[in-house]
Amino acid sequence: MIKRIGSCFILGLIINEILKGRVNSMSILIGPMKLHLNGHKELTSHGEVKNIVAGKKVFIPLMACTDVLVKAGDTVKAGTMLAKRDDHFKVPIFSSVSGKVLGIEELEHTTGRVIDHVVIENDGLNTFERPFEPIDAEKASVEELVTFMMNAGIVGCGGAGFPSYVKYKGAKGIHTLLINAVECEPYITADYRIMDNQVEELVYGTKTMLKMSGAKKALIAIKKTKKDLIAKVREAVKDTEGLFVEEVPDQYPMGWERTLIYEVFKKRYDKLPGEIGVIVNNATTAIAFSEALRYGKPIIEKICTISGDAVKNPSNVRVPVGVSVQEIVEQIGGYAYDEVRIVGGGPMMGKTVSTDRAVINSASNAITILKPDEDEAIACLRCGRCNDHCPAGILPVRINNAEEAGDVKLLTKLRADQCIECGMCTYVCPSKIEVTEGVRRGKALLRAAAQK
């Protein structure tokens, strides 16, 4: 049985670490706004990447998508365009398997939202058709590359899923392309494994993005503790003009765009990194872009970390988009307990889902599966730790109170919208209060008020 959880497991994580003696309470808190976490990355960082076979049906999520191009009964191949986003971002969505379209079904997504999915009956043949032709990135103009990126459906692969072409369209005054290969959340090692396996693609994708950005240099930011990967990437970029490796501290949330930019450039910005002349893209996005450029392959499969203390064999898997968590876990050995809690993403920033029918999507990088948290929260001690450690510089406990009171004016004043949902406030709370959940609800309240 799959049990719904909140994010209060994060405190359990830290307390467990202390009790196990792997870290001590003094060494965890290495300074305001950043923590060094025991990442549990050894569970998956060096094992084989297991291939997951899609079952009889796959469910392709239609995030923010209104223009569906197929109907029940249509035959599709892996690579067939199923839909196109019809909002500000015209990116397409492709089938990951060949077979027959059965219709549209509402399902919980790994973000916790219930959205439409195209249901495809998998014929098991995996017949592929190129939805677009490869392109010579050296010869293509910047405009052609931006259009290519849009039509290839390249989205941020670090979990956000933001259409990447938007960052390059009309980019001006950019001095640096920053490739985010930090992967700071506990348990997740998918980026590490992909970069280790596909370093040439990383270089090709980054080189092309550098051309599109108009910048003089690209920095590939990797945690300084990843010595083997740093050496490998340095070797791979040594003959490519403008590409460099940037070592950054092993702290959380170093992978958050603002933290990373501050670490590298010692600058802050208001809304977008472009304001200070920087474009940021995830390392696996660069790899996915390279595969599109060179092979005409859209993002129809993902390498994801399936890890946590409630899965028997934590693993990195190569899985077609649209395959459920349940099917993946079955194929890697099953759950370790009858009741588990499932998080779409890593344990800090990921969202809890109530069902293991949720599927892998083009932005997925991890599913974390944990033991249910039995401990109850107690009253706020007013210790102020959550405020002290918030990397966004806002006041989580006050935002929680404002949310409970439904005070939209105060939520606006407290800048609840600035929260990056990093999970740090819950992590440090000694009362086991799900502070992050309260701030998330506060943000939702603000959004709803803005829509009115």
Q: Which residues bind ligand SF4 (CB under 6 A)?
A: 380-386, 390-392, 394, 396-397, 419-425, 428-431, 433, 435-436, 439
Whose Cβ is closer to ligand SF4: residue 296's or residue 430's? 430
Residue 184 labelled as part of a binding site: no
422 labeled binding residue:
yes
* Of residues 358, 365, 350, 353, the one with CA closest to residue 324: 358
Q: Shortest distance, CB of residue 381 to ligand SF4, whole angstroms? A: 4
Taking the complex as a whole, how short is the minimal distance between the CB of residue 258 and ligand SF4, in angstroms? 10
Least Å distance, CB 351 to ligand SF4, is 12
356 versus 421: smaller Cβ distance to ligand SF4 = 421
**Residue whose CB is less far from ligand SF4, 33 or 264:** 33
380 is in an annotated binding site: yes
> What's the CA gap between 260 and 257, in Å, rounded?
5
* Pick 332 or 420: Cβ nearer ligand SF4: 420
Residue 386 is labelled as binding a ligand: yes
CB of 346 to ligand SF4, least distance (A): 13
- Give min distance, CB of 368 to ligand SF4, in A: 17
Kindly tell me which of 183 and 421 has the beta carbon lying closer to ligand SF4: 421
Q: Is the CB of 35 or the CB of 317 nearer to ligand SF4?
A: 35
Supply the minimum distance, in Å, between the C-beta of residue 369 and ligand SF4: 22
Q: Which is nearer to ligand SF4, 140 or 380 (CB)?
A: 380
- The least CB distance from residue 39 to ligand SF4, in Å, is 18
Q: Binding site: residue ranges? A: 380, 383, 386, 390, 419, 422, 425, 429
User: Per the annotation, where are the binding residues for [4Fe-4S] cluster?
Assistant: 380, 383, 386, 390, 419, 422, 425, 429
